[in-house]
Structure formats: structure tokens, C-alpha cells
Structure 1
């Protein structure tokens, strides 16, 4: 991931994307909405989704022109707006070391600012990119909502299935990675086959990204996460790594789960094969992602896209081993 984000071509493109994000997030007629939206986009983040959009376009021989830059900015704006809604649902007060919008402004204002960001991305896509790109992004927002709804429906459900967890992951996270790759292919006027291949690549990487994020919630410590370990368990989200572990947590899980129960659940999970099995599952997804990639003639771009899934898995592997051996 660091290699992708440090590539000179990607860095140069991301500077333009950042400027476009700021313009879009500050385009309301109401100063309060602009201030709130900028609070969210200024909170940081690696900008991985727009970086992947830029890399996909470059891999297809498309220079990051105004349409590609705007498409990438729309992808990130949708991500940022969805985070506002996530924080509302979780009643979170902090993200990336900064106070959340709902903590700063209250739930009502945070809700409409999140809505504004999603809608502004759609408007920019239809007016400054193309109708096909706008259609992809609109359909993706639908998937984000459906994926989050599926997760909410399964809160505190010890009978949650792997299939349901995967459906939720695909909707709430992987769909936007898929969309980033697909809109890049649309801007590059790629063939239908190459569009489908890049979409599959983006979706598989998105699943890897979310599954490994869920794994870190169970294996990393508080300082590494920026939040207490076991956050998902406290919230009643029984993630795919938990479901794959085969560990019986029935005597611990529930709405009244205290810190002692969380600590014991983490101990059991970390003593199991959960981490190894989850990483193996992600390596399988990475193989599928790489097999889906179209022919990329630029060696640097080929290296970036082929290396991204396995590099991210290795990064999480190292963090997991550091925690379990300390």
C-alpha cells in the first residue's frame, strides 16, 4: 500500500484530487455545511480509494485528466460521507484522533452534512464526469446502505452466518473499491472485459481490506488501532474472522458484555487459529484479484496493482505477529 501511495504519478494525481475534494466539500450555499464537510475531509486518511482509481486509469493508459480526477474525488467524498453516517450509528466521538462530526455538531447536523457529501458527489459525477460514472456511483451508494443495513440487522446475533457477513462486507466496503476501479475503466473507454476485470479486482481487494481491518480489531492493541481492541465485539458486530475462528464465545457475547468478557473473548480468539485462517482466506482472495487484472503494459503500474493485495496482507500479518508475540 505504501508503494502505491508513494508512486510519483499517484502522488501528483492525488494533489489534484485533494484540491477537487476541497472544492466539492466547500460548495454549499450554507457556510455551516461547508465547515462541517471540511472538518471531515481534513481529518486525514490515506486516500487509498482515489489512489486506486488513479492507478487503474493509468494502468489502462489514461492520463489523470479532469474527468478522472473528479471521479476519484467523488469516490473519496462518498467514502467520507459514509463515515459520517457510520459514526452516527456507532455514537462514536473520535475518529483518527479528531472529534467526530456528531460529537462536534450534534446528530442532526452531522446527518445532513453526511447526506450533502453523498449528494454532492453524485451531482459532480453527472455534471463533470459522465452519466455512466454517475450511475455506477449512485448504485454504489445503494450498496453501501444495504451492506450497512445487513450488518445492523445482525447485531448481537450469535447465529450470524459467514455468508451474511460476507454480503455485508461486499456492500458496505468492497463496493466502493470496485466502483473506484470501474469508473476509472469507464473514463479510459476500456473494453467491457477490462471493465469487468478491474471491477472484480477492486471488489476482491475491498473484501481483503475490510476482513483484515476486522482482524486487527481483534489482534492489535489500542495504540495501533487508535481505539480499544475488541470494539466490534462491544458493538455486537460478530465479524468474519470471529465466525471463521470456530471459537465458542456463547458464554461471553451479548449486549451487557463488559471489559472482563471482552478481554476473555480476545484471549480465546488470539489463542485459536483465527489469525492464520483469516490470513489464508485473504491470500485466496488476493489470488483471485490478481487473476482478474487485465493486461497492463506499463511495468510500474503493473507492479503497483499486482503488489497491492499481498503487500497489504503482509502489513497486517506483521502487525498481528507483533501483537501475538509481545
Structure 2
């Protein structure tokens, strides 16, 4: 994954994306909103989604011009704005080892700052990229909302199915990875078939990303995770790894630290990790099979290797 981000053409494009993000972030007439957005966009993150947009455009023969850069920046603004809303819903106080926006400025201000970021991304897409790209991003925001709603509707639901969990994470996470690849393909004027193939690749990789992120919440240390472990259990989320494990855990509101620790111990003692990783390997095979013909050997190696490399990176996480 790191190789994708440090490839010269993509690394150079990401520097331009970063500049564009900050220009869009500083465009409010209200200093408080500008400061809030700056707090979020400078809080870390790998910029993986804009990197995928850049890689897709390059793989399909388009250099990262201003339209590609802006489209990639819009994808990241949508992602970051959605994180503000996620933290607000979870009442989280820490992300990536630093205080969340809602913890710093309060729930009401955090809510409108997240809204501002989503709206700004849509406005930049329609005015500075293209109508098709703006339509993709707008439809993706709808999917993000629907995916999050589905998860919220299933909180503390012991009858939640694996299919329901996959449907939720497809909307709340994988849809934006799909969009990142799709807008890169649109900017490259790719054929409808190549656009569809890149979109499928992005969605499958997005599923891997979220499933492993959910698994980390159950297996990683708090230090490596940058936030408390077992948070999904506390929130009542029967995540896909939990459902795949077959372990009968009961999630209730107000679970004590001891109850969370007991549930984590039972899950970790099961075949959850092995089964989840194997499931993700199947998704990785599907993602690679979806890729169109890529003539640039370096970019082909990067995109073909990314899903497996991400799974291997998870295996190395303490």
C-alpha cells in the first residue's frame, strides 16, 4: 500500500491534491468553519482514496491534470466530512490519536462543518471537474448515508445477518472507494467497460478495507489503533468479522469494560481472524479479476498487488 502512495507520479499528484484540499477547506467566509475543516484535514490519514483516483487516471492513460486533482480532492473531502459525522454519531473523542472535532468544538458546530465539507466537494466537482463526476459523487454521498443508516438500524440486533452487514459497509465505505476509481476513469475518458471494471475493483477493495478495519477494532492494541479497542462492541455493532466468527456474543447498552474484554477474549480465541482474512483474500481475487488491461507495467503491478498487500499489512499489525 505504501508503494502506491510513494510512486513518483502518484506522490507528486497527491501533493497537488493536498494543496487543492486546503484551498477548498479555506474557502468559507466564516473563520470558525475554516479552522474546523483545517483541524480535520490535517489530522492525518493516508489519502488512500485520492491515491486510487490518481492511479486509475494514470493507468487509463490520463496524466493528473487540474480536473483529476480536483476530483481526487473532492473524494477526500467527502471522506473526511463523513468521518466528522461518524465521530459525532459515536460521540468519539479520539481518532488517529488526536481529539475529534466534536470533542474540540462541540456537536452542533461539528455537524455543520461536516455538512460544509460534503457540500464544498459537490460544488467543486460540478464547477471545476464535470457533471458526470459530480453526479457520481452526489450519488455516493446518498449511499454513504444509506449505509450508515442501515448500520444504525441494526445496532444491538443479534439477528443481524452477514448479508446485512455487507450491504451496510458497501454503502458506508466501499461506495467511496468505488467512486474514487470511477471518477479517475471518467476523467481519463475511459470506455464504459473500463469504467465499470475500475468501479468494481474499487468496491471490492473498499470492502476489504472496511472488513479489516472492523477486525482491527477487535484484535489490535489501543496504541496501534489510535483509539479504544472494542468500540464497535460498545456501540452495539455486530460487525462482519463478529458475524463470520459464529461466536454468540450479546451486545447491550452500557456494557462494562469487563464485559467488553470478555467478548473480545472469546472472539480472539475463535477462528474469526483466520476466516475473515480468508474471506478478504477471496475479495482480493475478485478485485484483481475485475481490472481492465493496463499497459503501464508499474501501475499494473501496483493495482494488481494492492489488495493482497493491504491484507498482508493487516497481518503485520500488532
TM-score range, shorter chain: over 0.9
* Separation of aligned partners in 2, 1:70 and 1:277: 39
Residue number in structure 1 paired with 2:202: 202
How many Å apart are 1:101 and its aligned residue? Answer: 1.2
Residue deviations 1:170-197, cap 9 Å, x none?
A: 0000000000000011000000000000
Residue number in structure 2 paired with 1:96: 96
How many Å apart are 1:103 and its aligned residue? Answer: 1.1
Matched length? 318
How many Å apart are 1:92 and its aligned residue? Answer: 0.9
User: TM-score when scaled to structure 2?
Assistant: 0.99
Q: Gaps spanning 5+ residues in structure 1: where? A: none
* Separation of aligned partners in 2, 1:200 and 1:305: 13
SS at match of 2:316: helix
Note if 1:130 corresponds to 2:117.
Answer: no
How many Å apart are 1:96 and its aligned residue? Answer: 1.5
Residue number in structure 1 paired with 2:277: 279
Residue deviations 1:84-143, cap 9 Å, x none?
A: 100110111111122111111111111111000000000000000000000000000000
* Separation of aligned partners in 2, 1:197 and 1:266: 38
Residue number in structure 1 paired with 2:300: 302
Residue deviations 1:163-221, cap 9 Å, x none?
A: 11001100000000000000011000000000000000000000000000001111111
- Root-mean-square deviation (CA, aligned residues, Å) is 0.8
Residue number in structure 2 paired with 1:77: 77
Matches within 5 A, 1:142-153: 142-153=142-153
Say if 2:74 and 2:122, in contact at 8 Å, map to a contact too.
Answer: yes
* Separation of aligned partners in 1, 2:47 and 2:120: 18
How many Å apart are 1:224 and its aligned residue? Answer: 1.2
Say if 2:50 and 2:72, in contact at 8 Å, map to a contact too.
Answer: yes
* Separation of aligned partners in 1, 2:228 and 2:108: 27
Say if 2:94 and 2:226, in contact at 8 Å, map to a contact too.
Answer: no
Residue number in structure 2 paired with 1:162: 162
Q: Gaps spanning 5+ residues in structure 2: where? A: none
* Separation of aligned partners in 2, 1:21 and 1:30: 17
* Separation of aligned partners in 2, 1:93 and 1:293: 39
* Separation of aligned partners in 1, 2:258 and 2:97: 26
Residue number in structure 2 paired with 1:36: 36
Instruction: Give every structure 1 segment of 4 or more consecutive aligned residues whose post-TM-superposition deviation is greater than 6 Å.
Output: none
Residue number in structure 2 paired with 1:10: 10
* Separation of aligned partners in 2, 1:78 and 1:228: 25
* Separation of aligned partners in 1, 2:127 and 2:249: 51
* Separation of aligned partners in 2, 1:11 and 1:179: 20
* Separation of aligned partners in 1, 2:219 and 2:31: 42
* Separation of aligned partners in 1, 2:219 and 2:97: 20
Say if 2:96 and 2:227, in contact at 8 Å, map to a contact too.
Answer: no
How many Å apart are 1:318 and its aligned residue? Answer: 2.4
Residue deviations 1:237-267, cap 9 Å, x none?
A: 11000000001223xx211311111111111
